[in-house]
Amino acid sequence: MKPARKQTSPAAAASLACAIVLGLATAGNAAVAATTTKVPEGARPMSAAELYMLYHDKSWRWPDGAGRMQNTDRRFSAWVDGSGGQSWAEGRWAVTDNGRLCLEATWHAANGQFPAKTCFIHRIFDGTIYQKREAGGAWFVFRHPITEKTDEATNLIADDLVSQRLEALKTSLTVRKTE
């Protein structure tokens, strides 16, 4: 006899999926984001071309996972393995001329699938890039003109941190669902 699984409501699971996407991307810079950063008056929205150059074919390293913005078909894929559980996502990423990067994906966990969309707004002034999560995020310096070790942009790397781990999590979660 198998032990009874704890059931999670769809609403709670959807909240978890959103928290993963919304929180992890900026969790590494939480201390910086907690301080109030004022975006200079003359800052302008980054263009789609500037955002594309910043994010395309990069992995964004998070404390408990990573997301990858692939150039081909603007695919976005990610994985998370932390205290809240394991999950993986596949979807698309998009940039706009008003400074927005949006990650739209379906997150898969042991308790189901949940769509999520998270957008980040970017402004630039004198080579400093400011970023905030749309809908309630706090502005912080994403990258200084001369990159500093603490810049969140240092977590954008060319190496693929996602594909291998993503396949392992897909297999792991599929095996659990069939047990």
pLDDT band at 175 (very low <50, low <70, confident <90, very high): low
Query: Residue 4 domain-assigned?
Result: no
Amino acid found at 105: A
Q: Is residue 2 part of a domain?
A: no
The answer as to whether 3 is a domain residue is no
Burial class (CB in 10 A: 0-12, 13-18, 19+), 111: buried
Q: What is the pTM of this model?
A: 0.81
> How far is Cα of residue 137 from the mean position of the Cα atoms in its chain?
14
Query: Can you give the residue range of the structural domain that contains 57?
Result: 11-178
Which residue is it, tokens 């769509």? 115
- Asked if the model's pLDDT at residue 7 lies above 70, the reply is no
Say if 6 falls within a structural domain.
no
Which pair of structure tokens corresponds to residue 53? 């150059």
Tell me, yes or no, whether 100 lies in a domain. Answer: yes
Please tell me the total count of domains within the chain.
Answer: 1
For 112-167, write each residue's pLDDT tens digit: 999 999 999 999 999 999 999 998 899 999 999 999 999 999 999 999 999 999 99
Q: Are 93 and 116 in contact (CB under 8 A)?
A: no
